[in-house]
Structure formats: C-alpha cells, structure tokens
Amino acid sequence: MPLPTAFRAVLWMSGAVVSFSTMAIAVRELKPMDPFQILFWRTGIAFIIVLALLPRSGLATLRTQRLGLHFLRNAVHMGGQYCWIYALGALSLATVFAIEFTMPVWTAILAAFLLGERMTRPRLIMLALGVIGVLLILRPGALPVEFAAFVMLLGSLCYAAQFIATKRLTSSESAMAVLFWMQIIQSPISLALALPSWLWPVGAQWAWVVAIGCFSFFAHYCITRALQMGDATLVIPIDFLRLPFIAVIGALFYAEPFDPMVFVGAIVIFSGTYYSLSRESRR
C-alpha cells in the first residue's frame, strides 16, 4: 500500500534535516582543513555523483544559454558556503543553524529589490520577527557578539541571493543543469583557493570527506522531492527540526552548552517565516 503523498514529503524533508546535520558534523571533524579545501571536497564528491547520474538524464539536459547567471549564482553560493563553514568552526552548531533560518527574511528583501516583488504585510511581519529573533540570539550589549555571528548572517544573505538566482535559472534550465554547472564552476575555483594551504585528509577524515560530498547532494535532492510532493507550509516546519537535532548532537559530542535564548530567537524567526508562507499560500 503506497504511503500518502504528504507523509512522503515529510520523510524526504526529514532526509534533508539529517543530511544538513551530517554535513555540519563533517565540517567540525575536518576543522583543521582550510574552508576552501572542504568546499573542494564537497563539490568534487558531488560532481562524481552528478556524472554518475548523467547517463539517465542525457547531455541535452545540460544545455544552457545563461552561463553568466550560473557564474553569479555559484559565486554567491560559494560565499555562503565559506561563511557557513567558518561559522561552524567558531560558534555552537545550534547558533549557526538558528542564524541560518534568517534566509527567508533576506530572500524577501532581495526579491523586493531585484525581482520587483511586493513587500506584503506578511513579509513585513516576517522581516520584523526575523530582526527580533536575531537580537534574541545574539543579545548585543548583554553578551559580546562574536565576529563569526556576523559572518553567518552574511552567509544567510548569500544563500538568499543564490536562491533567487536559482529561481530565475529553473524557469528555463533543468535541475540537472543547475547541479552540473554548480560543480563545474565551483570545483576548480575552490581547488585553486585551497592549494596554498593544502592538507590531505588522514585516517577517518576520508570518511567525512566522502560524507560531506554525498550528503550535500542528497540534502538538495531531498528538498526538491519534498517540495514536489508537499506544500511549503508542510515541508518548512520539518526543516526547523534541524535545530533541536543539532543542539543535542552539539551537547553530547562537542560539550556545547544549551542556550535557551537561541531556541527562543529561532522560534521567533520561524514563526514569522511560517506566518508569511501560510498567508502567501492562501493567496
């Protein structure tokens, strides 16, 4: 008996939650490496997976007439990934994931400026709650705000910019083309930037190198499948489970202290995002 579509969407999104969390752990385990080297292994392993799947989709799916937009998308995506990796080495896992949840807020702002989309009342509420949530997490004045927190905010902005670029690309490009050009562009650039401080993985690090590449591909595939099967208002709340999941991992394996305000701030950010999504879906 086939599973209900909504339940399958939840399962796919749960796969994305596990994948992103595994990637974060892999970054921690590869911490002595330069962030650009970790980026190279991530894109290189994912590129092998894309090439393995290419015979099924065919070369015709890779054609593009928007190479410039591909380069722009991947430039900001690499910037976001670098910020994410840097922040994971300096902040608690839960704090990084909580700040990352501001991406929908940045997306709404950039969409208004770049795509001419209206800044509706639900989006303004999402923006306001996003700012409040970040203030609750960082508590400037009460706590010293670490530089890595600002780096992660910049990373979330980069993720939002690449999301909008992806939205533009997928209007005329296949998903396989977006993934293929992503690896083609990012692999040589990240390799060139990683060579000056190159360190070969040793021992168990090889397993984490393979893990970060495989789970990077799997995470994006899971999100795509989840959104194909379920509405965003069903799928996005599952993504929020990343926070308690990674907080438990941080506490058990990295002795990271539990900060209730990180959860409070993340819930405020998520509430604004979910409210905006639900209102937009009704419209």
DSSP 208-241: HHHHHHHHHHHHHHHHHHHHHHS-HHHHHHHHTT
Overall domain count for the chain = 1
Give tens-digit pLDDT for 252-274: 999 998 889 999 999 999 999 88
Whole domain around residue 148: which residue ranges? 5-282
User: What is the average pLDDT across 160-170?
Assistant: 84
pTM for the full model?
0.89
Residue 267 structure tokens: 């819930």
Rg (CA), the chain: 19
Residue 232: the pLDDT is 67
What is the rounded CA–CA span in Å between residue 182 and residue 74?
6
Residue 38: the pLDDT is 94
**Contact criterion met (CB below 8 Å) for 273 and 48:** no
Higher-confidence residue: 31 or 38? 38
Residue 71 banded pLDDT, cuts 50, 70, 90: very high
**Contact criterion met (CB below 8 Å) for 130 and 62:** no
- H helices within 139-204, ranges in order? 147-169, 175-194
Q: Is the pLDDT of residue 97 over 90?
A: yes
Residue 180: the pLDDT is 86
